[in-house]
Amino acid sequence: MTNTNEVRVRFAPSPTGMLHIGGARTAIDNWAFARANGGKFILRIEDTDPTRSTEENTQIILRAMRWLGLDWDEGPEVGGEYGPYTQMQRMDTYTAALETLKKRGAVYPCFCTKEELDAKRAAAEQSGEKYTGYDRSCRNLSAEEAQARIDAGEEHVWRLKVPENHGPIEFDDAVYGHMSFPADVMDDMILVRSDGSPTYNFAVVCDDTNMRITHVIRGDDHLSNTPRQILIYEALGFPVPTFAHLSMILGADGKKLSKRHGATSVEEYRDRGYLPDALVNFLALLGWSLDGETTIIPRDVLAREFSLDRITKKDAVFDETKLDWMNGQYIKDMGADAWVQAARPWLIEAGATEEDIDARPEWYAKLYPLVAERLVRMDEIPGKLAYMFWGPKVELDEKSVAKVLQKEGARAEEALRAARQIIADESIPWECDPLQDAVRALTETLDMKAKFLFQPIRVAVCGNMVSPPLFESIELLTREDVLARFDATLAAAF
């Protein structure tokens, strides 16, 4: 049934919460592999857990995928030839597959209750024997007895009849290489529960087959599921796709990435000011490399060059310091116009308004050079640029006041009063270089080191002795506001 002429891959999250970093890495690898091979990237929602799957969580996942820029060719909101793309809407396909297995004699009804199975497990453990799974006690029921019990309304599940004397279950994993699992340790797994719902392994095989999936790229926590799924493929007579299992993502402490390491969901990283291109680049490099050296890999290069043969079996380490550096590189290279649009929520937090950003985009674009080299994350914008939105007021940092303005012998008040006269001189163009040159000339007039002249001005204008470039900032403010800040600082500090 698989169309081998076209690569078809899928990302199939369960809508039980946020899209976590591990899932996002899997989605990126699938997306990139499809794009690099001119194939199709399918998004499928696996919502068969009614207690945890919600429409709200589905929307969270879709929103995260859109933010990451992982466009899907088939799936929710897009449609496609092999839909629906949520499992709860595909129940008829699982029913049809079960009927096929019944006709082939590949399944049987099991009437053992949970209590009976638990008791058998407990007895095996108590006797010191290793519990090897379901003992197949219902496998040899006659067809007549089984049907009579079904007709009588007795609760039952449907189990796969694993062929006796089946040789090792073998497959060639695109990452792990040749894999072999003994079939005799596989118990007759449940395919359909007593309420008629499919189990995970059964639904996945049906969906992947019906959606013509050629490559299953997923986390290696699914590696143990693969031999079970291959048995189901064989029972149904379906071709087995190529499997590629991705290594685990570890925290810096060498343990599986979890909440104890900090943010774990895509939206948390978005809200902390990481750019989608930077996060995609970073996650793609967790277990994959372009050439073993290149770190900054634009999205179009990833979509052109991604291949399964460059995925490593070695567990990947999530190094947030590296992510910060990478995000800073993307900010530095993104350009002013893109920065203004991406920075909106943090500019508004700093004191801007939506209306003003729309009315004066060119002014906001001039803020970008002030911070482009200084930002690691976009959520640092309010801390670095709030002073640009104070108007005539200034919020003085106490430590800066003590260390710069009130330092004994620093002559800060003298420096500020002299600089104020320069700033007030309307014959000097209100531009960075002329203003800076005129103020710098005071170092000779006052016989003062530049440091002791410029630091008090910086505190008076920006509120802090550490800020983006001073006179580039002053040029973007009004003369009236800058003079008002000088006056407010002189009144407050001396």
**Amino acid 252: pLDDT:** 85
Q: What is the mean pLDDT of residues 11-30?
A: 95
3-state secondary structure of 181: strand
Q: Indicate if 259 belongs to the active site.
A: yes
Other CB atoms within 10 Å distance of the CB of residue 230: 21
Mean pLDDT score across all residues of the chain: 95
What integer pLDDT is reported at residue 52 of this predicted model?
84
Q: State the average pLDDT over residues 224-235.
A: 97
Rg (CA), the chain: 32
Residue 453 has pLDDT above 70, yes or no: yes
Beta strands in 278-343 (DSSP E): 316-317
Q: Where are the beta strands (DSSP E) in 209-346?
A: 215-219, 242-246, 249-250, 316-317
Instruction: Indicate the DSSP class of residue 440.
Output: H
Checking if the pLDDT of 174 tops 80, the result is yes
CB 181 within 8 A of CB 164: no
Helix (H, G, I), strand (E, B) or coil at 345: helix
- Dihedral over Cα of 397, 402, 406, 409: its sign: negative
The pLDDT value recorded for residue 142 is: 95
Contacts of 482 (CB under 8 A, 6+ apart): 423, 461, 474
Question: If you write DSSP's letter for every residue of 157-184 in order, what string do you get?
Answer: EEEE-PPTT---EEEEETTTEEEEE-GG
Specify the long-range contacts of residues 98-106, CB closer than 8 Å, at least 24 apart: 98/158, 98/191, 98/192, 100/236, 101/158, 101/160, 101/191, 101/235, 101/236, 104/235, 104/237, 105/161, 106/160, 106/161, 106/235, 106/236
Considering Cα of 418, then 419, then 423, then 426, what sign does the dihedral take? positive
The reported pLDDT for the residue numbered 195 is: 93
Q: Which amino acid is at 165?
A: N
d(CA 158, CA 110): 6
Is the CB of residue 212 less than 8 Å from the CB of residue 8? yes
List pLDDT tens digits, range 135-151.
999 999 999 999 999 99
CA distance 343 to 351: 12
Q: Are 285 and 246 in contact (CB under 8 A)?
A: no
Helices 200-210 + 91-103 axis angle, to 10: 100
SS3 of residue 171 by DSSP:
strand
Q: Find, among 370, 380, 365, the residue nearest to 327 by Cα.
A: 380
Going from the C-alpha of 288 to that of each of 30, 176, 313, 322, the distances in angstroms are: 12, 14, 9, 15
Contact 67, 60 (CB under 8 A): no
Tokens describing residue 344: 């909106």
pLDDT tens profile 109-127? 999 999 999 888 888 888 8
Give the model confidence (pLDDT) of 358-380 as tens digits. Answer: 999 999 999 999 999 999 999 99
Give the percent of the chain with pLDDT over 70: 98
> What pLDDT was estimated at residue 49?
80
Sequence-ordered list of residues with C-beta below 8 angstroms from that of 407, at least 6 positions apart, any chain = none
Helix or strand run (H / E) with residue 192: strand 190-192
Give 2's pLDDT tier (boundaries 50, 70, 90): very low
Beta pairing partners, 74: 42
pLDDT of residue 253: 86
pLDDT in tens, 71-106: 999 999 999 999 999 999 999 999 999 999 999 999
The residues with which 9 forms a beta bridge, in sequence order, are 41, 215
Contact partners, residue 194, CB within 8 Å, separation at least 6: 155, 156, 157
Q: What's the CA gap between 95 and 90, in Å, rounded?
A: 9
Residues in the chain: 494
What are the backbone angles phi and psi of residue 313, rounded to the nearest 5°?
A: -80, -20
- The string of pLDDT tens digits covering residues 277-299 is 999 999 999 999 999 899 999 99
Give yes or no for residue 134 having a pLDDT over 60: yes
**Active-site choice (102, 259, 399, 451):** 259
pLDDT of residue 406: 94
Q: Which amino acid is at 341?
A: Q
The pTM of the full predicted model, rounded to 2 decimals, is 0.93
Question: Does residue 258 surpass a pLDDT of 80?
Answer: no
pLDDT in tens, 37-50: 999 999 999 998 87
pLDDT band with cut points at 50, 70 and 90 for residue 4: low
* pLDDT tops 60 at residue 327: yes
**Does position 1 have pLDDT exceeding 50, yes or no?**
no
Q: Which of 262, 309, 226 is nearest to 29 (CA)?
A: 309
One-letter amino acid of 490: L
Place of tokens 């009927």: 99
User: Is the pLDDT assigned to residue 437 strictly greater than 60?
Assistant: yes
Q: Express each pLDDT in 399-436 by its tens digit.
A: 999 999 999 988 999 999 999 999 999 999 999 999 99
Contacts of 100 (CB under 8 A, 6+ apart): 236
Tell me the two tokens of residue 212. Answer: 């013509």
Rounded to an integer, the average pLDDT of 171-186 is: 95
**What's the confidence (pLDDT) of residue 48?**
83
Which helix (H) or strand (E) covers residue 8, if one does? strand 8-11
